[in-house]
Amino acid sequence: MTTVHTSGSALPVVVEAVELHRIAMPLVRPFETSFGRQTARDVLLVRVITDSGDGWGECVAMADPVYSSEYVAGCDAVIRDYLAPALLDASTVRAADVAGVFSFVIGHRMAKAAVEAAVLDAQLRAAGISFGEYFGAVRPEVDCGVSVGISPDLDQLLAEVSGYVDEGYRRIKLKIKPGWDLAPVAAVRDLIGPDALLQVDANTAYTVADIDHLRRLDEFGLLLIEQPFVEEDIAAHVLLARAIDTPVCLDESITSTDVAIDAIDRDATSIVNIKAGRVGGYLEAIRIHDACLDRDVPVWCGGMLETGIGRAANVALAALPGFTLPGDTSGSNRYFAEDITESFVLVDGRLAVPAGPGTGATVRTELVDQWKTRPAHLITRA
């Protein structure tokens, strides 16, 4: 079991104000999935100003509610109207208290996760402790994979994948949907060879009627198939897992530790994608990791096109012992020409776990100002 580091490291902070920043970052190339095509990342950043210094968190919600029910404007509103006032009302908080302070709000996990991360960053910066140390990281660097969008054609797909292989990525993930599955998987398997790590992600694009078709993926030696069916339908994933040799891995469905344990117990998932934003924060993500480690279920760190703020925290999370598969922890340049923090650069297919206090990443506030799509909101005690 991993235990969160709690000794002197976790002195509480008093939150004096919450600042909400909304910025737009162009993507280096459009990213297409079964739910749509993204050309820019519309990001909500949270800065908490405390008696012991500032902390930053990143909200992973997308501009539109197409991956999850959460979306940027909704997260912005729920933080402004509910979460920030509750945090300002609490006299002193540790990151570990934040989920309790927010429990009166149902759902809105991505919004809650962003604020909790900002509090944790402030608290650990004040204590001089890194996210990795606090989480219980067991390795100084993590193996990186890359998520490859749906391409206009196979030639462009193969060119993109070749580029990532040349950059040293240790695992390729292809986005699939009906009409874009067997052929791209076959072509990429042929390109990268039988031993290279390859997996697919359907982002809920299939139904149980497609089980016989999905079984045809078995011949390509995939690490896993991620989230073929809608997030509420655990039973459909159980049926697929019985029918297919390729391991089934849930992403969208896994919203908490209890849901993860239930899905594992029902044999709906034999590998789990952990995304802190989707489950309400890094502390809940660690509890899912612990539950999976107890059950010998491998986990890997998902990605949501994070800036350096979220990327730094993800890399720290991916350094926990149960993260035995490469994550979607790509280099900054996979998505952005310029990052909002120092860039994350792959070395031999790995990213280093930041060692500095808090996330260890420094926010370039001049870029936050330059890329803003509206003035910052400042929420202070009433």
Which residues would be at the binding site for ligand NPQ (CB under 6 A)? 31, 33, 38, 41, 62, 67, 147, 201, 203, 251, 302-305, 328
CA distance 379 to 377: 6
Length of the chain: 382
DSSP letters spanning 279-297 = HTSHHHHHHHHHHHHHTT-
Residue 137 corresponds to which amino acid?
A
Q: How many helices (H) and strands (E) does the chain have?
A: 14, 13
Min dist. Cβ of residue 252 to ligand NPQ (A): 7
CA distance 218 to 244: 7
Residue 357, helix vs strand vs coil: coil
Residue 276 corresponds to which amino acid?
A
Residue 320, helix vs strand vs coil: coil
147 binds, among ligand NPQ, Mg ion, none (CB under 5 to 8 A by kind): ligand NPQ
Question: Among residues 58 and 201, whose Cβ is nearest to ligand NPQ?
Answer: 201
Min dist. Cβ of residue 38 to ligand NPQ (A): 4
| Binding string, residues 151-190; x marks residues near Mg ion by CB under 5 A | ----------------------------------------
Question: Among residues 95 and 249, whose Cβ is nearest to ligand NPQ?
Answer: 249
Min dist. Cβ of residue 44 to ligand NPQ (A): 11
- Residue carrying the six token digits 């302070």: 101
CA distance 91 to 97: 11
Question: Among residues 32 and 251, whose Cβ is nearest to Mg ion?
Answer: 251
Catalytic residue among 173, 175, 177, 372: 175
Candidates 251, 284, 290, 306: give the one binding Mg ion (CB under 5 A): 251
Residue 26, helix vs strand vs coil: strand
Question: Among residues 151 and 253, whose Cβ is nearest to Mg ion?
Answer: 253
Q: Is 32 an interacting residue with respect to Mg ion (CB under 5 A)?
A: no
Min dist. Cβ of residue 33 to ligand NPQ (A): 5
CA distance 241 to 225: 10
231 binds, among ligand NPQ, Mg ion, none (CB under 5 to 8 A by kind): none
CB 22 within 8 A of CB 372: yes
| Nearest position to Mg ion, beta carbon | 251
Per-residue tokens: 68: 């999850």
Q: Is 201 an interacting residue with respect to Mg ion (CB under 5 A)?
A: yes
- Residue carrying the six token digits 């989707």: 278
CB 372 within 8 A of CB 15: no
Per-residue tokens: 380: 């202070």
CA distance 153 to 157: 6
Min dist. Cβ of residue 358 to ligand NPQ (A): 23
| Binding string, residues 218-237; x marks residues near Mg ion by CB under 5 A | --------x-----------
Question: Among residues 114 and 305, whose Cβ is nearest to ligand NPQ?
Answer: 305
Min dist. Cβ of residue 302 to ligand NPQ (A): 5
CA distance 243 to 51: 56
Q: Is 175 a catalytic residue?
A: yes
Question: Among residues 102 and 335, whose Cβ is nearest to ligand NPQ?
Answer: 335
Give the β-pairing of 141-143 and 53-59. Answer: unpaired
303 binds, among Mg ion, ligand NPQ, none (CB under 5 to 8 A by kind): ligand NPQ
CA distance 227 to 211: 13
| Nearest position to ligand NPQ, beta carbon | 147
Question: Among residues 226 and 284, whose Cβ is nearest to ligand NPQ?
Answer: 226
Min dist. Cβ of residue 122 to ligand NPQ (A): 25
Q: Is 372 a catalytic residue?
A: no
Binding site for Mg ion (CB under 5 A): 201, 226, 251
Residues labelled catalytic = 175, 275
